[in-house]
Structure 1
């Protein structure tokens, strides 16, 4: 696949929606106008930028998409190893990098305006931009080969991109009656949650922004110099559950915003999709951001007539990956025995019935929280100090593995998962605590993303499955046979087992996608 045939595609979108979109192949130095049918018929790789803008146009005109699509922005970002590239993409388009590939600044500026309909189409400008885009593709391909990213990108990221873009182009069905009900309920729930949150934590009557959270966390004694706000809220125990309450408020705010963005007449959603939506390669949906809605409001999604919706998720996903990568015997035992967090809470921490706290404490440990802070946090939840110390001394091999990841990151200035997906270090010297956590997260979460994407590719081959919505590590799909969900579970489990070389046996199950 690395050396497959390819063509560069330029397009001008008709923002009026009248179907007057224009498509151009750039072939052998020539700009040749074509049409949607010819684009999807091409058997090689269609190389372009901003494919999301024409995805639905191509699908509506042809009822399919090209067999292989390589979006240059996705290619650049997913193989660079620089997490800032993902953030910068939200501020800049592809023309911001074309000067690196020979395009003059004037050409970049004119092409950007032309692409956004600020200037009439000018073949000379388009041809010069296309020359730079073609050079960009070849340079990215060469870099990917040299950095060990080509195989993953071309055999996993690209086919998953096509699979999921096709699913989003088909669209996600909406139950309009439920949408109306959920919109009203989400507004009510948000303001109730906000009122309680404000009173309980002495916060203003609004969803706190980053500066407000920083101020609150510092006032509560947290050090923010070497840790992210997100890490503190999700993984570190708080007095009076400030972290959990903040996450719940943010989720309620997200739900009302997502539901509020949908017209009550909406019958189908076609979200924008980022297959490489985070540093660790998680799949993100936006416009609307359906993945961030809690189960309470997911009932707005409906199945097509004659089909049933089912939802399959990995079980104990992170723990299983950590166990396999580290080969820690204690971790493997807990993973294989059942619900690891329940067992850890009851057997090792003495927190019977408090699975949530046990999960929070274990993941804080697993991603690098200091032993002292960890034990202090456990004690604050009622764990005996000696028992806490013993509990987090169980995983000697995992500790050795974690330190080996840190050493690799410091020595080589980069850390990678299986099949690449590397993360570059931005400074020299000893690793900070934040860098230690980020390196372990990259390996664990990046491996999780790889397994999930391989599972999606396997599920996509099943006859009775129509992919509806990928969640972070789970999948909502349509089917007609009662037997199909078990086949999807098997595909998930096998993808995990095989990717991890049999170090652990993958676990997945059918679960509830929505409440009620």
Structure 2
């Protein structure tokens, strides 16, 4: 992006909230003081670090955010292909990069302390740090171009970042009068679930730690052969429902914590949002993590006066993406027919009225669980062995596609979605089972994230839509006109169809956001 108009922006936040925040531009290697209005009015890209810290201050002072914001920390993470960069986000800040780009060691240390308001502002320190950050940004642009990430970053990630940061700054309206009731309900539900969980699975009367869950799974014969504990809980069937029961308990515990973190006085919440929150580019909210609240408590989120809330979700999302990318005719047929998991359960596995088990089994298969383990799991759930064998022989083209993805990953040392977002391999030699699953997941889930973000950008063009909350692959929004939800559904469908090169026709619908 050699023609990109941009300025390096530094800020020093007043953590006391008294309004003594200061803002600076780096111009011609000089540090110039600016106002919040100056920052927001700039027509080019505002380049900075830790934008989440100053986001709400800018919005409150100027009534808006800059038209384009590029956070160098997020830029580095989103193009690196290394998931460890996301995991280390809280440990390694921009000051760890300054020496590589010309700043003296003492400047890195002083700037960090100054940024955190531990020492007084020093213009010379700030200027030298700003020059180094500007060099970091230009280096990231060069790296993104060389790795084939530049188009995705500037046409998808950057505008979505601004869109969602502004939505969070505007605030999500909270029904304060109903919050206390939902808190009590969540406390009750959690302790009831905990009591039943403890009795059913002979576990201590507390939310189990990660190590306690892993020990229980190993004792039951589960192996973590290159898979995470979360994978085993969610995708591997459990005869006594230990996996789903554990996830349910964790969800109740999480909901209780989120509801407790909300304040009654303000009437709204302004979450911190990670627009590139995972290696596959999924959007994650934190502080508070509203995406993880079960439907029965979601009524605490309310519309602003005169508006209505609506929730639009993709239908059979992963299946459609897998069918399109692999061009598997059997998978495409199941996707077109309707509820793929219900049909797969009844027609192919003989597990009538057990959609949940069919979904677990299919996704385990789709992301690389061994055929023998799949068949054993299906039999343990009541399927006939011969029928289960036939069910997982249906998708011959998808099976070949998975092998092609893994071969490419092993050959190239990286794998990408349909538009960048690559994932680099850490090892060499033959792929482990975990690497095989990661490769397939990167392509499928990374493509899903790309489709969702492009859908957000299209939906934002509808003048009656106010984006409220992205919910993984669905969207909660406000509207005032009756016909707006249909327009949002149409946008979701059109974007999915286009990104997947018309191999399938996308599906989306209005769904229930709250359990009624």
> Which category describes the TM-score, using the shorter chain as reference length?
over 0.9
Question: 2:47 is matched with which residue?
Answer: 47
Partner of 1:324: 324
Answer whether contact 1:280 1:445 (CA < 8 A) is retained.
Answer: yes
Task: Give, in whole Å, the separation in 1 of the partners of 2:437 and 2:317.
Answer: 18
Q: Spell out, residue by residue over 1:385-415, the C-alpha distance to the aligned partner (whole angstroms, 9 max, x if none).
A: 0100000000000000000010011111100
> Could you list the per-position Cα deviations for residues 344-402 of structure 1 after superposition, in whole angstroms to 9, with x for gaps in the alignment?
00110001100000000000000000000010000000100010000000000000000
- Runs of 5+ consecutive residues of structure 1 not aligned to the other structure: none
Find the residue that maps to 2:173 and give its secondary structure.
Answer: strand
Contact 2:459–2:465 (8 Å) recurs in 1:
yes
Distance 1:112 1:285 in 2: 26
**RMSD in angstroms over aligned alpha carbons?**
0.8
Contact 2:73/2:94 (<8 A) preserved: yes
Distance 2:304 2:356 in 1: 36
Provide the rounded CA distance (Å) in 1 between the counterparts of 2:249 and 2:266: 26
The answer on 1:423 being equivalent to 2:429 is: no
Contact 1:316–1:340 (8 Å) recurs in 2: yes
Aligned partner of 1:493 in structure 2 is 493
Alignment partner, residue 214 of structure 2 = 214
TM-superposition CA deviations, 1:124-151 (whole Å, max 9, x none): 1111111110110000000000000010
The answer as to 2:442 corresponding to 1:442 is yes
SS at structure 2 position matched to 1:514:
coil
Instruction: Give, in angstroms, the shift of residue 3 of structure 1.
Output: 2.5
- Give per-residue Cα distances to partners, 1:41-72, cap 9 Å, x unaligned: 11100000011111111111111110000000
* Aligned twin of 1:150: 150
Describe the SS at the equivalent of 2:240: helix
**1:504 and 2:500 are equivalent in the alignment:** no
Pick which of 358-367 and 175-184 moved more. Answer: 175-184
* 8 Å CA contact 1:170, 1:270 repeated in 2: yes
- Which residue of the partner structure matches residue 349 of structure 2? 349
Q: Secondary structure at the match of 1:263?
A: coil
The within-5 A match list for 1:155-174 is 155-174=155-174
Deviation at 1:95, TM superposition (A): 1.1
* Paired position in structure 2 for 1:392: 392
2:368 corresponds to: 368
Cα deviation digits, residues 306-330 of structure 1 (max 9, x gap):
1000000000000000000000000
Match of 2:260 in 1: 260
- Given that 2:46 and 2:70 are in contact with CA atoms closer than 8 Å, whether structure 1 keeps it comes out as yes
Secondary structure of residue in 1 paired with 2:43 = coil
Name 2:278's counterpart in structure 1.
278
Aligned partner of 1:201 in structure 2 is: 201
> What is aligned with 2:80?
80
State the distance in 2 between where 1:195 and 1:20 align.
50
**1:502 aligned counterpart, secondary structure:** coil
- Partners in 1 of 2:101 and 2:200 — Cα distance? 56
In structure 1, the residue matched to 2:137 is 137
Note the C-alpha offset of 1:225.
Answer: 3.9
Distance (Å, rounded) in 1 between the aligned partners of 2:318 and 2:479: 28
Runs of 4+ in 1 over 6 A off after TM superposition: none
- Distance in 2, Cα, partners of 1:120 & 1:155: 39
Once the two structures are superposed, the pairs formed by residues 295-310 of structure 1 within 5 Å of their partners are: 295-310=295-310
Output the CA distance in 1 between the equivalents of 2:98 and 2:404.
39
Contact 1:2–1:154, Cα closer than 8 Å, also in 2: no
Offset of 1:100 from its aligned partner? 2.3
Structure 1-normalised TM-score? 0.99
Q: SS in structure 2 opposite 1:117?
A: coil
Shift of 1:75: 0.1
Shift of 1:471: 0.6
2:431 & 2:329 partners in 1: Cα distance? 28
* Residues 16/310 of structure 1: CA separation in 2 closer, same or farther (3 Å cut): same
> Are 2:25 and 1:25 equivalent residues in the alignment?
yes
Classify 1:170/1:233 alpha carbon distance in 2 versus 1 (closer, same or farther; 3 Å). same
Are the aligned partners of 2:50 and 2:73 in contact in 1 as well (CA < 8 Å)? yes
Q: Tell me, in whole angstroms, the C-alpha distance in 1 between the residues paired with 2:332 and 2:116.
A: 54
Which digits, 9 at most, give the CA deviation of each residue in 1:93-115, with x for residues without a partner?
A: 21122222222322111111000
| Contact 2:239 2:381 (8 Å CA) reproduced | no
Corresponding residue for 2:463?
Answer: 463
Q: Which moved more, 1:256-265 or 1:327-336?
A: 256-265
- Asked whether the equivalents of residues 23 and 34 of structure 1 are also in contact (C-alpha less than 8 Å), the reply is yes
1:2–1:150 CA contact under 8 A, matched in 2? no
Counterpart in the other structure of 2:14 = 14
Supply the distance in 2 between the matched residues of 1:152 and 1:279 (Cα, whole angstroms): 14
Displacement of 1:2 in angstroms is 5.7
Pair 1:283–1:115, CA change in 2 (3 A): same
Structure 1 pair 2–181 and aligned structure 2 pair: CA distance change class (3 A) = farther
